[in-house]
Amino acid sequence: MALWMTRSFPKAGILPADSETEVKAISIMAWCASGIHPHLTRINSPVKFCDTPGSEESINRLAAKELDHVFGIGDGMLSGREYFFGQWCAADSHFFWTWRRATQFGLDFSKYRNCVAHFERMQQRPAVKKALEFEKQVQAEFAKAA
């Protein structure tokens, strides 16, 4: 999707303009999708990974350990940077989502100060504020319908 949007709206800055950095941004998005997101899914739905009674705690612990590892990598990548590539791109949004999801599970990764700063910076972006407000409205509507 990000590639199509970048090609369709090149001035939007969705991905970096130069091809080498664009590939690196795509790599970070793939890492978020395949190296971070699966661990979040295990925490969200442990019974989908093992239906042995009582295994949920172990699955959550192992997933949290892996998240600790990958967020450590992300923290290093963000060292000395506001965004992964100097200015915002789609890779920052994908990483923001994974970090936000981890915090929604009550996991504490506050030791990763660069990730925390990135998360806080992302929350100040007008588009992110708008998306989070929309999410809140949708959740309220779902709650009314339930």
Nearest Cα neighbor of 22 from 32, 33, 7, 36 is 7
Say if residues 82 and 121 touch (Cβ distance below 8 Å): yes
State the pTM of this model.
Answer: 0.92
Domain boundaries, the chain: 20-145
Residue 34 above 90 pLDDT? yes
Say if residues 26 and 3 touch (Cβ distance below 8 Å): yes
Percent of the chain surpassing pLDDT 90: 89
Give the pLDDT score at 141.
95
Give the pLDDT score at 1.
82
CATH number of 20-145: 1.20.1050.10
For the stretch 82-136, pLDDT in tens is 999 999 999 999 999 999 999 999 999 999 999 999 999 999 999 999 999 999 9
Phi, psi of 84 (to 5 degrees): -55, -35
Residue 6 above 90 pLDDT? no
Give the pLDDT score at 78.
98
Q: Looking at residues 44-60, what average pLDDT do you find?
A: 93
